[in-house]
Amino acid sequence: AKKLGRNNFQFYTPTMNDEAQERVRIESALRSALERNEFVLHYQPQVNLATGQVVGMEALIRWQHPELGVVAPDRFISVAEETGLIVPIGAWVMRTACAQNKAWQDAGLGMLRVAVNLSARQFGAANLLADISDVLARTGLAPSLLEIELTESLFMSDVTLAVELLHSMKSLGVNLSIDDFGTGYSSLSYLSRFPIDVLKIDRSFVSDITRDANDAAIVASIIALAHNLKLSVIAEGVETAEQLDYLRRHGCDEMQGYYFSRPLAASAFEELLRQHKSL
C-alpha cells in the first residue's frame, strides 16, 4: 500500500502493480533499444486513385526485439510518449525515413513522398524546426517529398501557438497532413486557419462504408470538405474492393491499406517499386 496522507491509503491491486512494473521495464528497454539500433521502419504504399500508381509511403516504426521478435508500435509508443523518449525516437524515424526515401530516389525508383507520424511531445519540443531542416539538409531530400502527419489533439491545448508552429513548419516546404481525421474533439474552424495540405480519413470510418450508411455519408462529406478547402484527401485502412470502389466514386485522391499492401520492410518495399506494382 502507498501512503497518500493521514488515514488515506491507496491499495494497488496486483494487476496495477504488474502494469506499473511493465512500464518501467519497457522504458529501460526502449532506452537500450535506441542505443542498440533495434528500431526499424516499415513502409506502407500510398496509391493515387486516378493513376493507380504508388505516389508515396507512410513510415511505421517497429521494434526488432532480440527475444520478443517484432514488437508493434501500439505496445511501446505510449510509454515512449509518457517518458519523453519519443523525442529521440521520433528524430531517428524522421532521419531514417528521409534518408531511405532519398536513396530510393537516387536509385531511380521515383520521386515519392514519405510520411512520418509526429507525436504531441515532439510537436511541443523546442528543437523541432531545427531538427526537420537539419534532416532535410543532411539527407538532401526535397522538402516537398516529406509529409508530416499530425493528429487533431496536438492543436487543442494552445491554438495560437499551434497556428504559429504549423506556419513555421510549412515555411520549410514540407507537407502537413491531419491523421485520423474525424476522430478527435476538434472544431472545423481550425481547418481554415491551419496551413494543412492533406486530410487522412480514419480507418474506423473506412472499414464500415459498405455496411453503415452513416459512415458512408461521413466519408463522402470529408472528401467534399477537403476538396472545397482545396486540400487533398487520402483514405487509410482500405481492405476491400468495395471500399475502394466507393472511395473512387466519391473522388478520393489516394488510398492506403491492406487491399493494396501491408506495411513492408524496406527491402520488400523496394521490390514493389522495382516491379512497378500498381492498383
Q: Which amino acid is at 159?
A: V
Pick the closest to residue 216 from 234, 242, 254, 186 (CA basis).
242
Residue of 149, 169, 199, 269 interacting with Ca ion (CB under 5 A) = 149
Tell me the window of 4-12, 73-81, 111-119, 164-172 that interacts with Ca ion (CB under 5 A).
111-119
Q: Say if CB 8 and CB 18 are below 8 A apart.
A: no
Query: What are the backbone angles phi and psi of residue 115, rounded to the nearest 5°?
Result: -105, 135
Which residue, 16 or 197, has its beta carbon nearer to Ca ion?
A: 197
Does the protein bind ligand C2E through residue 12 (CB under 6 A)?
Answer: no
Among ligand C2E, Ca ion, none, the one that 44 touches (CB under a kind-dependent 5 to 8 A) is: ligand C2E
* Least spacing, CB of residue 1 vs ligand C2E, in Å: 36
Min separation Cβ 154 and ligand C2E, Å? 11
* The entry of Ca ion, ligand C2E, none that residue 67 binds, CB within 5 to 8 Å by partner kind: none
97 close to 41: Cβ distance less than 8 angstroms: yes
Q: Which is nearer to Ca ion, 18 or 82 (CB)?
A: 82
Tell me: does residue 73 bind ligand C2E (CB under 6 A): yes
The values of phi and psi at residue 181, to 5°, are -60, 135
Q: Per CB under 6 A, does 93 bind ligand C2E?
A: yes
Residue where the block lists cell 496495477:
16
Candidate ranges 48-56, 85-93, 101-109, 214-222; the one touching ligand C2E (CB under 6 A): 85-93
- Least distance in Å: CB of 156 to Ca ion? 16
254 binds Ca ion (CB under 5 A): no
Q: Is 180 in the site for Ca ion (CB under 5 A)?
A: yes
Instruction: Name which position in 54, 128, 179, 273 contacts Ca ion (CB under 5 A).
Output: 179
Residues 229 and 69: their CA atoms lie apart, in Å, by: 44
Residue 230, C-alpha cell as written in the block: 482545396
Nearer to ligand C2E, 64 or 193 (CB): 64
Question: Which DSSP state fits 38?
Answer: -
Q: Report the candidate in 90, 83, 87, 64 with the shortest Cα–Cα distance to residue 23.
A: 83
Binding test (CB under 6 A) with ligand C2E, winner from 46, 100, 101, 119: 119
CB 243 within 8 A of CB 256: no
Q: Whole-angstrom Cα distance, residue 180 to residue 164? A: 22
For 236, phi then psi, to 5°, come to -105, 160
Q: Applying CB under 6 A, which residues contact ligand C2E?
A: 44, 60-61, 72-74, 77, 86, 90, 93, 117, 119, 179-180, 203, 236-239, 257-258, 263
